Amino acid sequence: MVVNGGGTGIRRWVVGWTGASGAVYGVKLCKELLAAGIEVHLVVSDAGWRVLKEELGWDAARRQDSLAAGLGLAEESRLRYYPNGDIGAAIASGSFRCEGMAVVPCSMGTLAAIAHGTADNLLTRAADVTLKEGRPLLLVPRETPLNAIHLENMLKLARLGVRMIPAMPAFYHGPQTLEDAVNFVVGKVLDGMNVPHRLFRRWGETDDNT
């Protein structure tokens, strides 16, 4: 995939998908970002590819084709995909300019690696760079129940300014479908990225959003 632009005035985010259940959250987030005209620099862990296969039926052996089909990409798009083993990719450097990074969904293993600075692959290195450069880092942990190790790692990152957005759908907006529940979580991530959306009815809004 080819990224258009990259110059002044084009918004740019790094997105990571990991092996936690909830691959649909990451897919929906990327679709929304691309539809908003935002450059997406995507890295997917090997476990993330397995979850994409198990939950969404993606062909993990044909990754570029799966991304194009699953995200509905045109021949040219604002998405750039990096293999997780490409530790020398652009997003591994602090000189790479972007607004921040979101890991959606975020496994407990990835969360622990970020919390302890174990930057041994591109995804965790990109997250480490995001932290050291003082850029927004948003994590969507998807695990239950949570043990003390999970909670301590989340607290450590939260104290560093990392935004924790657990995959916890709300019900005040009257979700009728699974897509409605997914949209709520993704909408909260977009709020944290300062990206306008209409994925769910906010508290106090009417059905016609007036």
Annotated binding-site ranges for FMN: 19-21, 45, 107-110, 142
List all residues 6 or more positions away from 8 whose beta carbon is below 8 Å from its beta carbon.
none
Other CB atoms within 10 A of residue 185 CB: 26
Residues tagged in the binding site annotation: 19-21, 45, 107-110, 142, 172, 188
**Calpha distance 139→30 (Å, rounded):** 15
Other CB atoms within 10 A of residue 176 CB: 8
Q: What would you report as the CA-atom Rg of the chain, rounded to the nearest whole angstrom?
A: 16
Query: Residue 108 in contact with residue 143, Cβ under 8 Å?
Result: yes
**Calpha distance 178→190 (Å, rounded):** 18
Other CB atoms within 10 A of residue 170 CB: 13
Residues tagged in the binding site annotation for dimethylallyl phosphate: 172, 188
